[in-house]
Amino acid sequence: MSLKQQAAQGAEVNERLAALMTNANAVRAIASAVEGTLGPKGLDTMLVDKFGEVVITNDGVTILARMEADHPAARMLINIAKAQEEEVGDGTTTATVMAGQMVSTGVELVSRGVPVARVIEGLRLGLRRALELVRAEARPVTDLDDPRVHQVALVAGREHADIAALVVRAAALVGTEKLAEPNFKLADTVLAVEGAENEVFMGVIVNKEPLNRQMPRELSGEVKVLIIDDALEPENVEDEALATEAGFSRYLQLQDEFRANVQKLVELGVGLVLVDRGVAAAAEEILTDAGIMVVQRVLNRELRKAAEHTGARMIKRTGLKKSPEDLARFLGRAGSVCHDEKLERVRIRDGRGKPMATVLVGAATEEVVGERERIAKDAAGAVQAAIRGGVVPGGGSLELWAAREVEKIRAGVKGMSAYGVDCVVEALRRPLAQIVANAGFNPLEKIGDANAAQAASGKNSLGINCDSGEVEDMEAAGVLDPAPVKIYALKAAGEVAEAILRIDTIIKKREDYKDGKGLKADE
């Protein structure tokens, strides 16, 4: 073959790899942005926006969600991390780092001549085996008094013992049955407030104050709660109608009916009214005189939590026309309601509905409020995941063991697909490598030490102590991770890696037809 033919062949190969290399570089850039935060010795990242606002965080999903990323492949990886956070509440950095490694290994294999189809085939085989191994190693946790629950919270909470204790207490208050509910998230019970004291209590917090200072600051006993998913105002009459005699008469009638409906709440002995929107002056006057606490413009998610905890059924303003007997069926109950003047919030405690805890995390300054909240939410997500799916040894030890086990299937894989298995093997080694690198040790040396120790002892929980650099049993040391976090991270990493490796060409889309400009979609 002449030099000219070789050059032409090389150019053709490079052209075929151009899209893959472009996407791989974008993924590597995203992974490198968060890999330094992994492990107990991971460092923080500073995010700065165009206005100079600064966020300093160690939280992977926060970094990914707030960083500027225009490349489509980069956004794919970010979306996978967000999905991981939404599903299990932790493990986003691990998923991102493993996805980056899978893509890097896959690109290296393709550049050496392994067909993409064979790489993906082997990746799938390796991933299936890895997931089987992790699922089989999950140790169930059914008792919230199990010390492993606290250890999971401590690891996910970046060794903040005070936050771990708060989260475990909150989990105990709501119970395992509530934690197992698909739509319930323990992380949603976390609230960090500047100047607050660390606290856990059975109840919910409404991030608003009473409508005026003449309303009671505290209610106790069997407090009846009404939740209005609407405005507490009369029905509207159009301006044009008000100009007519009939329209004005209708307006006066609606005002009288509204006052009568509000008076029903007084007669029913309602103590607290939560309103989604505004409150009319007439209603404010009647309810204030009756000693009823009213809170307006409450976020809908807070209304739902309050309704669930107190057993109230949310009602529209037209529902106030119901008879007092029917209206009483919509009321919830609470043991006490108080206005916390320091925090400028209303607390509803000991509701008669479903158990609902609030984790109040204190922070000394405004700058650390967000990070304290993120840490607590990670710990809460990890505890809930552990209850749902059990725990496994952490610190990258289980993944390292799984890498050796996955590597064994290469001998039984025919053809070039065996190379694709290496994508999963290298990705499984990556968490421990990055953890020890962040701790200041040589990852090649420490992976070798841990590998040899695991092979000699047969224990898959042996990893590296990030303080001493010595081999240590992660399970005995209390370094535990929720199995669902590991499983979902592996699945997410495999999905995004396969999706990116499959992209052969990048083509800029034409603009759809808009306002008479551009092309129609079907042209």
CATH number at residue 15: 1.10.560.10
> Residue 207: is it exposed, middle or buried by C-beta count within 10 angstroms (0-12/13-18/19+)?
middle
Q: Which domain holds residue 60?
A: 11-139+391-501
Whether residues 62 and 115 fall in one domain: yes
Whether residues 206 and 350 fall in one domain: yes
| Residue 47 DSSP SS3 | strand
Query: Across-strand partners of 351?
Result: 334
Report pLDDT for 334: 95
Chain position carrying tokens 């160690």: 58
Rounded Cα distance, 262 and 455, in Å: 74
Q: Is residue 318 part of a domain?
A: yes
Report pLDDT for 422: 94
Q: Is residue 180 part of a domain?
A: no
Whether residues 225 and 357 fall in one domain: yes
Dihedral over alpha carbons 441, 443, 446, 452 (to 10 degrees) = 180
Whether residues 330 and 212 fall in one domain: yes
Report pLDDT for 512: 59
Rounded Cα distance, 178 and 185, in Å: 9
Dihedral over alpha carbons 354, 359, 360, 365 (to 10 degrees) = -150
Q: How high is the mean pLDDT in each 10-residue block of the chain (523 residues)?
A: 45 62 82 86 82 77 77 79 74 87 91 91 96 95 92 92 94 91 88 86 93 94 94 78 70 86 94 94 94 95 93 93 93 94 91 90 81 90 93 95 95 91 95 94 95 94 94 94 92 89 71 53 47
Residues in CB range of 54: below 8 A, 6 or more apart: 46, 47, 48
Report pLDDT for 502: 85
Q: Are 208 and 296 in contact (CB under 8 A)?
A: yes
Whether residues 330 and 444 fall in one domain: no
Whether residues 340 and 280 fall in one domain: yes
Residue 346, token pair as written in the block: 């209303």
Q: Is residue 510 part of a domain?
A: no
Whether residues 341 and 266 fall in one domain: yes
Q: Residue 485's closest CA among 394, 373, 371?
A: 394
Of the residues 310, 344, 363, the one at which a domain ends: 363
Whether residues 354 and 397 fall in one domain: no
Beta strand pairing call for 345-351 and 332-340: antiparallel
Q: Is residue 244 part of a domain?
A: yes
CATH of the domain at 319: 3.50.7.10
Q: Residue 383's closest CA among 483, 462, 488?
A: 483
Q: Is residue 369 part of a domain?
A: no
Residue 219, CA distances (Å) to 270, 337, 349, 461 in order? 11, 5, 10, 53
Q: Is residue 120 part of a domain?
A: yes
| Residue 222 DSSP SS3 | strand
Q: Is residue 373 part of a domain?
A: no
Whether residues 264 and 324 fall in one domain: yes
Whether residues 212 and 341 fall in one domain: yes
Quote the number of domains for the chain: 2
Distance of CA 148 to the CA centre of its chain: 22
- Written as one letter, the residue type at 36 is G
Of the residues 325, 348, 363, the one at which a domain ends: 363
> Residue 198: is it exposed, middle or buried by C-beta count within 10 angstroms (0-12/13-18/19+)?
middle
Q: Is residue 381 part of a domain?
A: no
Query: Across-strand partners of 3?
Result: none
Rounded Cα distance, 507 and 523, in Å: 17
Q: What phi and psi, each to the nearest 5 degrees, are found at residue 13?
A: -65, -45
Beta strand pairing call for 218-228 and 45-48: unpaired
Whether residues 228 and 103 fall in one domain: no
Rounded Cα distance, 310 and 349, in Å: 9
Report pLDDT for 435: 94
CA angle 159/441/63 to nearest 5° reads 50
Whether residues 133 and 47 fall in one domain: yes
